[in-house]
Structure 1
């Protein structure tokens, strides 16, 4: 697992790709969190983050130039809201081979005004009823979904379905499932009340902006400052105990004439 640092960004492969776009290659580092993307200086049309361990699609500063984002074979389960604020010109989003489960988890993409090409192949969500029609309805500018052209017939069918009474019921059920899925994820993986208290205390005790940013990165990676601190305390205690035992053994050896 490698942290996405400004140094890694600067040292990674930069090239002109076959469609004459400037591309940054960040493949295969097992990066868990998207961060420090300001170090790109908004110089790239395409960023390839495939073959990493990213779980949430977020962490972008304002990148006006970025048109294509490739995240094949990560572990993405969540997509941040308001991506359009930081990626206003995003046209292509490739999420093949991730872990997106519910249709409602994709609703935040509807606010990206220029999104035209998207792939969700090999995600569990593709097996959901009405998957293709739902995305066509939600993303009116979509031209290519899972490398298949969106046809006028499909768009009319999607509008007819989801503007009907039945379609509105389907949408409500989709939203309910998405909320349930999110609640289950928080319950399963989210911090306890004690851990939340540790988080607040750690942030309150932070004495510099750098420390606050470090804590934020830990939280994004799913690590709890209180838990980390407790682990460190236990390690120190174990080390002290071992040291005391060694000192006692040395004293006994001296008394015995060794």
Structure 2
């Protein structure tokens, strides 16, 4: 069924000539057309403009009744229902309940007026199918045949197929009939996938290029080919061209190929083939040179990348070593910082103890008339890590406690007391205490200086630690 083909209607006694059957939507051959309806068909008169667009079909007979009857007959042939391939239908046709045992299936529609198949479906269970015939239908696409790996013959003639597809997996296919369809090209994959193909029928299609047909050259088993009634068959020397390129052919367009034709084809096309092969060789050489240059550039780039990778690896090792070294230094400085902090803490504690002792000594000196006597046993028992009891100095008060009456005695008693040798001893002790006090103050000042130095060292260590941590974080960012 081809689209766009007009039909010339002659008088009642004449004949009708048409290359192909009209399809739905093609121009009709009379002033009346029937619009399909679910219930009935109604006539409709065509306007003059529609007649012009349909190339003004000649009507030599004025009998409109006969013309209407003829149109209804053609319309009934075109407007048919759609059938579907079902499992029940396959079982009924093959008389097999188990579709896995079906070897041959004929779904071709030979009677006019029957419903036709539009889709290929429900054939997955026919895994052992070898012969499939779905000719004379309205199939538009080859599909859902992936499971039919053992198929040897496939007949799809007189359909509406426009593209060869869905057959890539059929390595055992030997006969393919696609005549009377709308195919325009032979795909590139066909000679690569259908290696077992022996018979190919592409008659009455729309193939217009010899290059498409010459793609079948790799099919060494192809012995029968039909491309008649295609636009390509109107080209001059097309038969000799195919005979020369498809050496395995024995029959072309249902006519056997003679040795004389082979000689003529060789004489006609062998020089052109040599020139073409030389051009192909030059092209291949140029392509090979280009690929060699690309390969050399790729090898050079690969070597450069390898060198860069080695440098990156060495740099990574160096960074790891530097990171390990910096970590060790960080641990060492952290330990030193802990030691310095501990020493600073002890020095601060010692300073606090000395300041407290000095303060209590000053307080006791103000309220005591006599200097204190150090308690050597207490000093021996005290340790640097202990702190003094707050509110009491680390010295022993005078054992001689004066009463209030003795303090307010007369002047004669005071002079007598000053002349006492014990008073001289107290004076000497006071001088010794003054010297010791000065020494203690000097020692306290020295401790202050040491504390300041320790604080400076702690600050410097903290600054170095901060700088090291910043450097380490930068290194980590670079490594990432």
Deviations 1:56-94 (A, max 9, x none): 223213223210001121111011012133211000001
Q: Which residue of 2 aligns with 1:3?
A: 119
Matches within 5 A, 1:1-258: 2-5=118-121, 7=122, 22-40=130-148, 42-165=149-272
Contact in 2 for aligned 1:83/1:112 (Cα 8 Å): no
Contact in 2 for aligned 1:162/1:168 (Cα 8 Å): no
**Cα distance in 2, alignment partners of residues 165 and 79 from structure 1:** 23
Deviations 1:189-215 (A, max 9, x none): xxxxxxxxxxxxxxxxxxxxxxxxxxx
Deviations 1:76-114 (A, max 9, x none): 101101213321100000111111112122121112221
In structure 1, the gaps of 5 or more residues are: 15-21, 173-258
Contact in 2 for aligned 1:66/1:90 (Cα 8 Å): yes
Contact in 1 for aligned 2:244/2:262 (Cα 8 Å): yes
**Cα distance in 1, alignment partners of residues 138 and 228 from structure 2:** 21
In structure 2, the gaps of 5 or more residues are: 1-116, 280-480
**Cα distance in 1, alignment partners of residues 273 and 176 from structure 2:** 35
**Cα distance in 1, alignment partners of residues 218 and 246 from structure 2:** 8
After superposition, the Cα gap between the structure-2 partners of 1:130 and 1:60, relative to the gap in structure 1 and judged at 3 Å, is same
**Cα distance in 2, alignment partners of residues 142 and 9 from structure 1:** 34
**Cα distance in 2, alignment partners of residues 166 and 60 from structure 1:** 31
After superposition, the Cα gap between the structure-2 partners of 1:105 and 1:61, relative to the gap in structure 1 and judged at 3 Å, is closer
Q: TM-score, normalised by structure 2?
A: 0.31
After superposition, the Cα gap between the structure-2 partners of 1:73 and 1:144, relative to the gap in structure 1 and judged at 3 Å, is same
Shift >6 Å, 4+ stretches: none
Shift of 1:10: 6.1
Contact in 1 for aligned 2:142/2:166 (Cα 8 Å): yes
**Cα distance in 1, alignment partners of residues 154 and 273 from structure 2:** 40
Give secondary structure in 2 for the equivalent of 1:88.
coil
Contact in 2 for aligned 1:119/1:145 (Cα 8 Å): yes
After superposition, the Cα gap between the structure-2 partners of 1:67 and 1:102, relative to the gap in structure 1 and judged at 3 Å, is same
Q: TM-score, normalised by structure 1?
A: 0.56
Q: Which residue of 1 aligns with 2:477?
A: none
Shift of 1:165: 4.8
Give secondary structure in 1 for the equivalent of 2:196.
coil
**Cα distance in 1, alignment partners of residues 212 and 272 from structure 2:** 22
**Cα distance in 2, alignment partners of residues 82 and 61 from structure 1:** 7
**Cα distance in 1, alignment partners of residues 141 and 262 from structure 2:** 35
Question: Which is greater in Rg?
Answer: 2
